[in-house]
Amino acid sequence: MTKTSKGKAKKVTGKRTGAGGKGRVILDLLRRKEGATIADLTQTTGWQPHSVRGFLSGQVVKKLGLKLESAKREDGQRVYKISS
């Protein structure tokens, strides 16, 4: 919940609120030390896995020019993170 200019609480639905929306949330998760799996990103955003992968490829790598690392964990899950 966030507060509006009149002090009332409003629900944050992930739609564009001027702060970057769901894209900002994905970038924050990818910047964590442990990174994020597709499952983490889909659960957080409510997007389908193919939409998350499209965002990673189209926005993170191509438009923003960030380096995205991918590695498999011991449990077989692929983890993505933005490298420095």
Q: Is the pLDDT of residue 16 over 50?
A: no
| pLDDT at residue number 17 | 41
- At 54, the pLDDT band (50, 70, 90 cuts) reads very high
Give the global pTM.
0.73
- Dihedral pair phi/psi, residue 81, rounded to 5°: -155, 155
CATH number of the CATH domain containing 51: 1.10.10.10
The answer to whether residue 41 is domain-embedded is yes
* 17/39 Cα distance (integer angstroms): 24
Domain range for 57 is: 20-82
- Residue 81's alpha-carbon distances to 9, 46, 59, 72, in angstroms, are 33, 19, 14, 12
The answer to whether residue 10 is domain-embedded is no
